[in-house]
């Protein structure tokens, strides 16, 4: 979406806040966020795919999209309305220095949850305050105040996550769960350039057989399939939302050449990268 008041747009401002009521310009397209965004659904519903998982967003759903998240809106009601706060990666890093990495790993895995009506006061107040400072363009401390608001958002999100989900679910239970969550986090970080199970097994200091066994036990899928699913998603984003050629995408994602990328993509999707680009590009 290219309108200024959309948090899915490339941020051309230090931050952005407001209300989205029309998702049709971004419907069915993949978007990889350079920055992040916090959404709060006020009315209606939307169906979204976030990092390969499907979610139904209904009234009072809070959605936290970290930098690098890949999202696609699959459908929404005619009365869908959501408030949002979009921010660049640099502001996010500055505001969140005090939080543990394990918390953000959980947010990456659990970006959506519905707030009880009685616990929506904090986010409503923060959204109003952030929108007010976004509109106050003469305020000389505008960006600093927005960063402080973002930190307040994250403190509130931290509180709600630990209150609703519990420490055990956020921080992990068994050793197997911990390894799997670390593996998925590494895949998010490196899948654009590293597609072999051995790379991730070495990072985790375990064997490829043990890693695949853990993935099978937790999800039913092999470690290789999980890596490939995320790698294909990265390719789709570049094919759909950029003007890069297939060769340029192959270079960016460290494929040996365009032909190798083409075979890899077609093996998983059943069509060539060019066919996909012609069908889905914006």
How far apart, in Å, are the Cα atoms of 220 and each of 83, 184, 198, 214?
37, 14, 19, 9
Return mean pLDDT, the chain: 89
What pLDDT, in 10s, does the model give residues 21-63? 778 777 888 888 989 999 999 999 999 999 999 999 999 999 9
E strands, the chain, are 16-20, 30-32, 36-43, 46-50, 53-57, 61-65, 70-76, 81-87, 112-114
Mean pLDDT of 188-199: 93
Q: Is 272 exposed, middle or buried (0-12, 13-18, 19+ CB in 10 A)?
A: middle
CA angle (244, 108, 32) in 5-degree steps: 15
pLDDT tens for each residue of 100-138: 888 898 999 899 999 999 999 999 999 999 999 999 999
Distance between CA atoms of residues 110 and 228, nearest Å: 21
Q: Give percent of the chain with pLDDT exceeding 90.
A: 70
Task: Read off φ and ψ for residue 265, nearest 5 degrees.
Answer: -65, -45
pLDDT of residue 5: 45
- Report how far residue 54's alpha carbon sits from residue 73's, in angstroms, rounded to the nearest whole number: 10
Confidence category of residue 254, pLDDT binned at 50, 70, 90? very high
Global pTM reads 0.83
pLDDT category of residue 140 using cuts at 50, 70 and 90: very high
């Amino acid at each position: 979406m290219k309108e200024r008041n959309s948090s899915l747009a490339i941020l051309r401002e230090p931050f952005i806040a407001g209300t989205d009521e029309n998702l049709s310009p971004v419907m069915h397209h993949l978007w990889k966020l350079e920055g992040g965004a916090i959404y709060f659904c006020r009315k209606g519903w939307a169906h979204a795919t976030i990092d390969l998982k499907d979610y139904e967003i209904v009234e009072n759903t809070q959605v936290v999209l970290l930098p690098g998240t890949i999202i696609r809106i699959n459908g929404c009601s005619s009365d869908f309305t959501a408030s949002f706060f979009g921010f660049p990666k640099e502001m996010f890093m500055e505001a969140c220095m005090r939080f543990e990495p394990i918390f953000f790993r959980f947010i990456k895995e659990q970006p959506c949850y519905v707030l009880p009506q009685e616990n929506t006061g904090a986010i409503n107040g923060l959204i109003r305050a952030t929108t007010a400072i976004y509109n106050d363009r003469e305020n000389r401390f505008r960006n600093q105040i927005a960063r402080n608001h973002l930190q307040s958002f994250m403190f509130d999100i931290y509180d709600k996550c630990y209150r609703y989900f519990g420490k055990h679910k956020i921080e992990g239970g068994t050793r197997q769960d911990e390894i799997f969550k670390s593996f998925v986090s590494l895949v998010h970080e490196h899948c654009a350039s590293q597609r072999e199970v051995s790379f991730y097994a070495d990072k985790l200091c375990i064997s490829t057989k043990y890693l695949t066994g853990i993935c099978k036990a937790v999800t039913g899928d092999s470690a290789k399939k999980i890596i490939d699913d995320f790698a294909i998603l990265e390719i789709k984003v570049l094919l759909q939302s950029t003007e890069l050629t297939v060769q340029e995408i192959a270079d960016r994602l460290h494929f040996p050449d365009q032909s190798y990328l083409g075979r890899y993509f077609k093996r998983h999707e059943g069509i060539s990268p060019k066919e996909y680009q012609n069908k889905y590009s914006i």
